[in-house]
Structure 1
């Protein structure tokens, strides 16, 4: 029979069965004597979410997961518990019972289960492997199931739980029904982590298995597995992903957490650690952690990443995620007729690699609020082959901006769009453009050549306005991503921004368009054009 919800909007899940297994069969680690493993409400909610089912098909909703929390929150124990459940409990969907409730069966009823605890080093695997052995050796599971928890692997009635590292050749072809991927912020190209992740996911896909990552905050620009998973999640939020089978659970302290203010730090730590914080009934001593920020050997960026779980920035990043969150205003609405400026940065296609994006960004003159009007990017996978920017959509977005708002200035980098920019100049100069890039070309604003000093100053102006929280932006995922992708590049004329490397797939075009829009807005403010609405001319007879 079909699923019967007990309340409106209920999502079916096998998580309740898993929680029963954890509390009745596993021992809490690091206790010396047996105590049942009882998860915190926050941890239990993650288990319920992870084992969510599609109410129509009865299939698992998520094939991949990311649980991102600060150090000491308890990621390793909860992942170890889930690994034990995957090996022994009823985690495979098996339809609905007579009351329309979800039913699960163990992997043993389907195939010989292999569960892996994976990391790029043996030391990292110990984070989850040690607690896992304690849970099984000291808990009722040892007597209830025919298992043998040895130091190097756990024998199941059929199958195994085993640790594995990126240097192990056994990973190739080992089809794990479930794999923990621990500390994926450290899984990179250089240590074989990215290839390791590909192999694990490929093997799991062959048998309808799942993988679950447990990273701390990653450093943008390092290309880690954790960073790529975050990018995949952002694509889902932007509607650019073809698949949404990723459960992404990341929580961090507020962006305005001030490391020089103890009360602010304590509040931020409480937010990041949730139920695990002592002030919330948990075990993490927040005052002890707060004291770490005063240690000269603790760089602020490391403190934010380790203990506040804030994804900050690479050493050469133009902006950090906390800085952007501090000015994000996603609920801001613009009324029709509002005076704005536009910035445009375009591309066409690329013979190799990923084509640059094309972006149109607006800026409200009255307060400098930035907002995305359109960003066109090459899709991932087969859909991106032979892709070109849809010019008709770009022209339609420009036309809609002029129709909806009072556009007083429009700065566009004409590279590869010279004829289009010329067309916009001819079409819109007689309307509302009161700000001109130059007398000869009111819209054309080259980002290279003789304007180098102007661009340096424009880049600095926008950066300072964001850092000092003088403006806001729409908080859109695409604009945020392009801001975070931008890297500082010093030149003879001063500091500009660029991609991390020329053929990088991490694009910055929306950030460039924002700089142009904000520069046009600066000209408008200097000219006194701060009115909110388009004025109406009255003719008197």
Structure 2
């Protein structure tokens, strides 16, 4: 018996896209690794287009659409149980999210006896639109519509499969009225529009007794934060999915397909049509480029970026410009054991994160803005000359030693493992020749005293405006001019992306977006401290002075 090919990887490097039609024989999907084959056959056999000039014609799935469906319904290897209980599909508008949602809803009705399938929307009007889409799809199919001899009965606010007692409904975000439901499949339409996480939490908690529960969030990007400063539920799920994709978190029950634009690439312009296809798998197919160009002239930049390019936009003043940190990445560099370095760390006791950064100093910058030959240069000319003179120098290099973040489901008494942090610092001192350990003694007085007593080179770095303003300016200038490199650690990139800049005494410093924001910046603060100390002359312990009694 021939061995069936393994399923495609959970998170392929290149997501499928384009106009190619679905042909299961040309893919690695089969009935042994996904339940999506049946779902795709169901859609192509019975669902008809409900809008446009092709209204009434049977749906012809593109290969990328079928791939999404097959991935959502992926099976655990060697089992008939499905892999995912939660799935996040982020794709811009006009890429047939409604079609995929309707197909998954109807498949869910037929999935098991007594199935309860729900579509969830932010408000009642949107919920009615979603239900109307699914109802129209059923009523246009003689094989599905009971009035035409089909399987499913359509009511004013529900669709029923009488043979098994299964039902489909659309719900709005008044989560407090939804307790007691037992959903088998839930489809969140435009998850970014949910006003809070209540409905998401209720629907996730209501399916514990189901053998194969499935929650699917289908959405474009949107705002990062709610009115109270907390992350939106969509951005929370996006960040969690990215951690899984990058290997930071191991969660085999969570799947994702995220079509987004790399707006941090060098030379990115949101009106450049060459970048539009990055986030739009249907671009050049049923998503017409000329029409999208017309839309781009009507929508504001934030609206176009979020709705049509899947770019997160925040109203806060972001510190580092888009793509600046990524352009400093040099993942091939490593800091060898025994190298002279500076360690810096920042953190809290029980709420935020605690992180340690290692910085290998570079060669001293040779441009002196105060030199007489540079006195007549303006700011732009100085920047150009500095870049020319410093281009060939070895640049400082940064990496993450370790990070401790409060787990998402941490018990109330969770605290940072202080002894573990101290041991990590000792281990780093054994690995490298540590010039300094930059510490804010106000937050970690115990650790400061213990490590100093052991002879480790601890250095005061109070996070006051007097210290942090020039350090922040130095870091910003180094990043913008490419005078620093880093390993590409996604945790440090995430913390830097979370930082916003606010004025303080003497200049600007970085902060979290709001005091209660769950988006951490501790690695960013440690990186600023580390680079500042690595670029400064090393601190030396005072030399003892001996006096002649006759001089006293």
TM-score (norm. length: structure 2): 0.76
Residues 458 and 417 (structure 1), Cα distance of their counterparts in 2 relative to 1, 3 Å cut: same
Pairwise CA distance, 1:515: 1.0
| Distance change (3 Å), C-alpha of 1:334 and 1:203 | same
2:498 to 485, 489, 500: 485
| Aligned pairs (5 A) from 1:401-412 | 401-412=428-439
Query: Does structure 1 retain, via aligned residues, the 8 Å contact 2:187–2:215?
Result: yes
Residues 403-422 of structure 1: pairs in structure 2 closer than 5 A: 403-422=430-449
* 2:136 corresponds to which of 134, 137, 140: 134
Q: Which position in structure 1 is the counterpart of 2:160?
A: 155
Q: How does 1:380-529 map to 2 (within 5 A)?
A: 380-381=408-409, 383-425=410-452, 427=454, 443-448=459-464, 452-467=465-480, 469-523=482-536
The separation in 2 between residues aligned to 1:379 and 1:171, in whole angstroms, is 28
**Alignment-derived partner of residue 343 in structure 1:** 344
Gaps of 5+ in 1: 89-105, 350-354, 434-441, 526-541
Cα distance in 2 for partners of 1:76, 1:378 equals 37
Give the whole-Å Cα distance in 2 for the aligned partners of 1:443 and 1:163. Answer: 60
The reply on whether 1:230 has 2:246 as its aligned counterpart is no
| Distance verdict in 2 for CA 1:168–1:229, change over 3 Å | closer
Q: In the superposition, relative to structure 1, how do residues 378 and 260 fare at CA in structure 2: closer, same or farther (>3 Å)?
A: closer
1:212 aligns with one of 206, 210, 216: 216
What is the alpha-carbon distance in structure 1 between the residues aligned to residue 501 and residue 204 of structure 2? 35
1:15–1:51 CA contact under 8 A, matched in 2 = yes
Alignment check: 8 A CA contact 1:70 1:272 kept: yes
Q: Aligned pair in 2 of structure 1 residues 325, 345: CA closer, same or farther (>3 Å)?
A: same
The DSSP-based 3-state class of the residue aligned with 1:134 is helix
148 and 168 in structure 1: CA distance in 2 versus 1, 3 angstrom threshold = farther
CA contact (8 A) 2:116 2:184 kept: yes
Query: Could you list the runs of 5+ residues in structure 2 that have no partner in the other structure?
Result: 9-31, 363-394, 539-552
- Once residues 288 and 9 of structure 1 are traced to their aligned partners in structure 2, the CA distance between those partners, rounded to angstroms, is 36
Q: Is the 8 A contact 1:313 1:320 kept in 2?
A: no
Partner Cα distance (2:361, 2:402) in 1? 19
Kept in 2: contact 1:122–1:165 (CA 8 A): yes
Contact residue 222 and residue 307 of structure 2 kept, 8 A? no
Output the aligned Cα RMSD: 3.2
Count, aligned residues: 473
Query: Which region of structure 1 is more displaced relative to structure 2, 309-318 or 46-55?
Result: 309-318
Cα drift, residue 22 of structure 1: 1.2
C-alpha change, 1:266 and 1:61, in structure 2 (3 Å) is same
How far the C-alpha of 1:259 sits from its partner, in A, is 5.5
Q: CA separation in 2, counterparts of 1:179 and 1:427?
A: 57
Q: How far apart, CA to CA, are the structure 1 residues paired with 2:455 and 2:270?
A: 51
Confirm whether residue 377 of structure 1 aligns to residue 405 of structure 2: yes
Which structure has the bigger radius of gyration?
2
- Other-structure match for 2:361: 365
2: distance between equivalents of 1:107 and 1:146?
Answer: 14
Q: 1:196-240 deviations in whole A, cap 9, x for unaligned?
A: 111122223332421111121133333211122123335546777
User: For 1:515, what is the secondary structure of its paired residue?
Assistant: helix
CA contact (8 A) 1:410 1:443 kept: yes
| Aligned equivalent of 1:6, options 4, 7, 12 | 4
Give matches, 1:180-199, under 5 Å. 180-189=187-196, 194-199=197-202
